[in-house]
Structure 1
Amino acid sequence: MGKKIKVFAPATVANVACGYDVLGFAIDSPGDEVVVELKDEPGVEIVAITGDGGKLPTDTTSNTAGVAMQQLIKKTDYEGGAKVWLHKKMPLGSGLGSSAASSAAGAFAMNQLLDKPFTSAELVPFAMEGERLACGAAHADNVAPALMGGFVLIRSYAPLDIVPIDTPESLYCTVIHPQIEVATKDARQILKKDIPLTDAVTQWGNVAGLIAGLYRKDYGLISRSLQDVVIEPVRSLLIPSFGEIKAASLKAGALGCGISGSGPSIFSLCQHQEVALEIAHIQAKIFADMGVTSETYTSAINQNGPIVMK
Structure 2
Amino acid sequence: MEEIKVFCPATIANVSCGFDVLGLALESVGDEMLVRKTDKPGIKITKITGQELPLATENNVAGVAGLALLQKSDYQGGFEIEIQKKIKPGSGIGSSAASSTGAVWAMDQLLGNPFTKLELVQFAMQGEKLASDVAHADNVAPAIYGGFTLVRSYDPLDIIPIPAPDELFATVIHPQIEIKTSDSRKILKTNISLEKGIRQWGNLGGLIAGLYTKDYNLIGRSLEDHIVEPIRSILIPGFDQVKSSVHDSGALGCGISGSGPSIFALSKGEETAQIVAKEMASVYKTIGLDFDVHVSKICSRGVASLMAGPKDI
Give the structure-2-normalised TM-score: 0.97
Counterparts of 1:180 and 1:82, CA distance in 2: 34
2:171 alignment counterpart: 174
In structure 1, the residue matched to 2:143 is 146
Deviation at 1:29, TM superposition (A): 2.8
Structure 2, unaligned stretches of length 5 or more?
308-313
Tell me the residue number matched to 2:300: 303
Deviation at 1:290, TM superposition (A): 0.7
- 1:192-271 map, 5 Å: 192-271=189-268
Show the counterpart of 1:58.
55
> 1:215-245 CA distances to partner (integer Å, 9 max, x unpaired)?
1111111111100000000000001110110
Q: Which residue of the partner structure matches residue 161 of structure 2?
A: 164
In the alignment, structure 1 residue 281 sits paired with structure 2 residue 283: no
Secondary structure, counterpart of 2:158 in structure 1: strand
Q: Tell me, which stretches of 5 or more residues in structure 1 are unaligned?
A: none
Amino acid aligned to 1:78: Y
SS at match of 1:211: helix
Helix, strand or coil: the match of 1:115? coil
Pairwise mapping of residues 28-107 of structure 1 onto structure 2 (< 5 A)?
A: 28-52=27-51, 54=52, 56-107=53-104
How many aligned residue pairs are there? 307
| Match status 1:12 vs 2:17 | no
Alpha-carbon distance in structure 1 between the residues aligned to 2:28 and 2:164: 18
Deviates more, 1:133-142 or 1:56-65: 56-65
How many angstroms does 1:49 deviate by?
Answer: 1.0
| Deviation for aligned residue 1:288 | 0.9
Q: Percent identity?
A: 54
Q: How far has the Cα of 1:273 moved from its partner?
A: 0.7
What secondary structure sits across from 1:21 in the alignment? Answer: coil
Equivalent positions of 1:185-196 (< 5 A) are 185-196=182-193
Give the letter aligned to residue 29 of structure 2.
Answer: P
Residue 45 of structure 1: SS of its match in structure 2?
strand
In structure 2, give the amino acid aligned to 1:185. S
TM-fit CA distance, 1:275: 0.3
Please list the CA deviations of residues 195-226 of structure 1 after superposition, one character each: whole Å capped at 9, or x if unmatched: 11100110011001111111111111111110
* C-alpha distance in 1 between matches for 2:162 and 2:5: 28
Over the aligned positions, Cα root-mean-square deviation in angstroms equals: 0.8
Q: Residue type of the partner of 2:214?
A: K
Q: Which one-letter code corresponds to 1:281 in the other structure? A: K
Shift of 1:299: 1.2
